[in-house]
Structure 1
Protein backbone atom coordinates (compact mmCIF):
# COMPACT_ATOMS: atom_id res chain seq x y z
CA UNK A 1 0.00 0.00 0.00
CA UNK A 2 2.81 2.45 0.76
CA UNK A 3 3.97 2.11 -2.84
CA UNK A 4 0.84 3.98 -3.99
CA UNK A 5 1.87 6.97 -1.88
CA UNK A 6 5.63 6.58 -2.24
CA UNK A 7 5.37 6.57 -6.03
CA UNK A 8 3.63 9.95 -6.14
CA UNK A 9 5.28 12.31 -8.59
CA UNK A 10 7.37 14.91 -6.70
CA UNK A 11 5.75 17.74 -8.68
CA UNK A 12 2.51 17.02 -6.82
CA UNK A 13 4.04 17.79 -3.42
CA UNK A 14 6.34 20.61 -4.48
CA UNK A 15 5.19 23.97 -3.14
CA UNK A 16 4.11 26.98 -5.13
CA UNK A 17 3.49 30.45 -3.74
CA UNK A 18 0.68 32.55 -5.20
CA UNK A 19 -0.24 36.13 -4.41
CA UNK A 20 -3.84 37.24 -4.03
CA UNK A 21 -5.95 40.01 -2.58
CA UNK A 22 -7.96 39.24 0.56
CA UNK A 23 -10.09 41.89 2.21
CA UNK A 24 -8.23 44.59 0.27
CA UNK A 25 -4.74 43.42 1.24
CA UNK A 26 -2.31 41.49 -0.92
CA UNK A 27 -1.04 38.29 0.66
CA UNK A 28 0.92 35.26 -0.46
CA UNK A 29 -0.09 31.66 0.11
CA UNK A 30 2.32 28.75 -0.20
CA UNK A 31 0.74 25.34 -0.81
CA UNK A 32 1.66 22.04 -2.35
CA UNK A 33 0.73 21.80 -6.05
CA UNK A 34 -1.81 19.07 -5.28
CA UNK A 35 -3.82 21.51 -3.15
CA UNK A 36 -3.58 24.24 -5.79
CA UNK A 37 -5.00 21.80 -8.33
CA UNK A 38 -7.98 21.04 -6.07
CA UNK A 39 -8.56 24.74 -5.37
CA UNK A 40 -8.31 25.56 -9.09
CA UNK A 41 -10.99 22.94 -9.81
CA UNK A 42 -13.26 24.15 -6.99
CA UNK A 43 -12.94 27.71 -8.28
CA UNK A 44 -13.63 26.60 -11.85
CA UNK A 45 -16.75 24.75 -10.69
CA UNK A 46 -17.96 28.01 -9.09
CA UNK A 47 -17.06 30.02 -12.21
CA UNK A 48 -14.52 32.03 -10.23
CA UNK A 49 -10.81 32.57 -10.44
CA UNK A 50 -8.87 30.73 -7.76
CA UNK A 51 -8.11 34.06 -6.07
CA UNK A 52 -11.80 35.00 -6.06
CA UNK A 53 -12.76 31.60 -4.67
CA UNK A 54 -10.20 31.82 -1.87
CA UNK A 55 -11.24 35.40 -1.11
CA UNK A 56 -14.90 34.36 -0.80
CA UNK A 57 -14.00 31.36 1.36
CA UNK A 58 -11.78 33.55 3.54
CA UNK A 59 -14.61 36.08 3.95
CA UNK A 60 -17.10 33.38 4.91
CA UNK A 61 -14.74 31.94 7.52
CA UNK A 62 -14.14 35.43 8.93
CA UNK A 63 -17.88 36.02 9.09
CA UNK A 64 -18.60 32.76 10.91
CA UNK A 65 -15.46 32.26 13.02
CA UNK A 66 -14.15 35.82 13.38
CA UNK A 67 -10.58 34.92 12.43
CA UNK A 68 -8.46 32.80 10.12
CA UNK A 69 -5.35 31.99 12.18
CA UNK A 70 -3.61 30.05 9.40
CA UNK A 71 -4.87 30.57 5.85
CA UNK A 72 -2.75 27.81 4.26
CA UNK A 73 -3.93 25.26 6.82
CA UNK A 74 -7.54 26.33 6.37
CA UNK A 75 -7.21 25.85 2.60
CA UNK A 76 -5.65 22.39 3.01
CA UNK A 77 -8.47 21.33 5.33
CA UNK A 78 -11.07 22.76 2.92
CA UNK A 79 -9.54 20.58 0.19
CA UNK A 80 -9.62 17.52 2.46
CA UNK A 81 -13.27 18.18 3.39
CA UNK A 82 -14.11 18.52 -0.32
CA UNK A 83 -12.43 15.17 -1.06
CA UNK A 84 -14.25 13.49 1.85
CA UNK A 85 -17.61 14.82 0.70
CA UNK A 86 -16.91 13.76 -2.87
CA UNK A 87 -15.94 10.25 -1.73
CA UNK A 88 -19.12 9.68 0.32
CA UNK A 89 -21.46 7.19 -1.33
CA UNK A 90 -24.67 8.62 -2.69
CA UNK A 91 -27.71 7.44 -0.70
CA UNK A 92 -30.13 5.60 -2.91
CA UNK A 93 -33.83 5.87 -2.20
CA UNK A 94 -35.85 2.66 -2.02
Structure 2
Protein backbone atom coordinates (compact mmCIF):
# COMPACT_ATOMS: atom_id res chain seq x y z
CA UNK A 1 0.00 0.00 0.00
CA UNK A 2 1.62 3.26 -1.10
CA UNK A 3 1.67 6.48 0.89
CA UNK A 4 -1.07 8.05 -1.24
CA UNK A 5 -3.33 5.00 -0.88
CA UNK A 6 -3.70 5.29 2.90
CA UNK A 7 -7.18 4.82 4.30
CA UNK A 8 -6.77 7.97 6.47
CA UNK A 9 -8.36 6.42 9.56
CA UNK A 10 -5.42 7.32 11.79
CA UNK A 11 -5.07 10.81 10.34
CA UNK A 12 -8.44 11.83 11.77
CA UNK A 13 -7.80 10.50 15.30
CA UNK A 14 -6.25 12.10 18.35
CA UNK A 15 -3.02 10.13 18.91
CA UNK A 16 -3.69 10.11 22.65
CA UNK A 17 -6.51 7.61 22.04
CA UNK A 18 -3.86 5.02 21.12
CA UNK A 19 -1.68 5.59 24.19
CA UNK A 20 -1.61 2.70 26.66
CA UNK A 21 -2.82 3.60 30.14
CA UNK A 22 -2.48 1.44 33.26
CA UNK A 23 -5.10 1.54 35.98
CA UNK A 24 -4.94 -0.17 39.34
CA UNK A 25 -8.06 -1.78 40.76
CA UNK A 26 -9.25 -4.52 43.07
CA UNK A 27 -10.82 -7.68 41.71
CA UNK A 28 -12.05 -10.35 44.11
CA UNK A 29 -10.15 -8.63 46.91
CA UNK A 30 -6.84 -8.62 45.03
CA UNK A 31 -5.05 -5.54 43.73
CA UNK A 32 -4.19 -5.70 40.05
CA UNK A 33 -3.20 -3.42 37.22
CA UNK A 34 -4.73 -3.42 33.76
CA UNK A 35 -3.09 -1.76 30.76
CA UNK A 36 -5.37 -0.74 27.88
CA UNK A 37 -5.31 1.93 25.22
CA UNK A 38 -7.00 5.17 26.22
CA UNK A 39 -9.83 4.65 23.72
CA UNK A 40 -10.82 1.40 25.46
CA UNK A 41 -10.79 3.05 28.89
CA UNK A 42 -13.15 5.73 27.53
CA UNK A 43 -15.62 3.08 26.38
CA UNK A 44 -15.37 1.16 29.67
CA UNK A 45 -15.96 4.39 31.61
CA UNK A 46 -19.04 5.06 29.46
CA UNK A 47 -20.45 1.56 29.94
CA UNK A 48 -19.84 1.71 33.70
CA UNK A 49 -21.60 5.08 33.96
CA UNK A 50 -24.57 3.61 32.11
CA UNK A 51 -24.66 0.77 34.64
CA UNK A 52 -24.43 3.20 37.56
CA UNK A 53 -21.05 1.78 38.64
CA UNK A 54 -17.50 2.97 38.93
CA UNK A 55 -15.29 1.55 36.20
CA UNK A 56 -13.46 -0.53 38.80
CA UNK A 57 -16.70 -2.05 40.13
CA UNK A 58 -17.93 -2.66 36.57
CA UNK A 59 -14.73 -4.52 35.64
CA UNK A 60 -14.93 -6.52 38.86
CA UNK A 61 -18.54 -7.47 38.02
CA UNK A 62 -17.48 -8.54 34.50
CA UNK A 63 -14.70 -10.64 36.01
CA UNK A 64 -17.15 -12.30 38.42
CA UNK A 65 -19.59 -12.96 35.57
CA UNK A 66 -16.84 -14.54 33.45
CA UNK A 67 -15.91 -16.84 36.33
CA UNK A 68 -19.54 -17.81 36.86
CA UNK A 69 -20.35 -18.38 33.18
CA UNK A 70 -17.02 -19.49 31.71
CA UNK A 71 -14.97 -20.77 34.66
CA UNK A 72 -12.57 -17.85 34.54
CA UNK A 73 -10.75 -15.36 32.38
CA UNK A 74 -7.49 -16.28 30.68
CA UNK A 75 -6.73 -12.71 29.58
CA UNK A 76 -8.67 -9.93 31.30
CA UNK A 77 -7.37 -7.14 29.05
CA UNK A 78 -8.47 -9.05 25.94
CA UNK A 79 -11.89 -9.69 27.46
CA UNK A 80 -12.27 -5.98 28.22
CA UNK A 81 -11.30 -4.97 24.68
CA UNK A 82 -13.85 -7.45 23.33
CA UNK A 83 -16.53 -6.07 25.67
CA UNK A 84 -15.79 -2.60 24.27
CA UNK A 85 -16.09 -3.81 20.67
CA UNK A 86 -19.35 -5.63 21.41
CA UNK A 87 -20.75 -2.55 23.16
CA UNK A 88 -19.83 -0.27 20.26
CA UNK A 89 -21.23 -2.75 17.74
CA UNK A 90 -24.53 -3.05 19.62
CA UNK A 91 -24.69 0.72 19.98
CA UNK A 92 -24.12 1.19 16.24
CA UNK A 93 -26.86 -1.36 15.51
CA UNK A 94 -29.33 0.54 17.69
CA UNK A 95 -28.50 3.78 15.91
CA UNK A 96 -28.68 2.34 12.40
CA UNK A 97 -31.72 3.39 10.39
CA UNK A 98 -34.27 0.66 9.73
TM-score by length of 2: 0.86
Q: CA RMSD in A?
A: 1.7
- In structure 2, which of residues 69, 88, 92 is the aligned counterpart of residue 87 of structure 1? 92
- For each residue in 1:47-79, what CA deviation from the matched residue of structure 2 results, as whole angstroms up to 9, or x when unmatched? 110000000011001100001000000000000
SS at match of 2:52: coil
When the two structures are aligned, how many residues end up with a matched partner? 92
Is residue 38 of structure 1 aligned with residue 38 of structure 2? Answer: no
CA distance in 1, matches of 2:48, 2:90: 16
Give unpaired runs (5+ residues) of structure 1: none
Give the corresponding residue for 1:16: 21
Tell which structure's C-alpha radius of gyration is larger.
2
TM-score by length of 1: 0.90
Q: CA deviation at 1:6?
A: 3.4
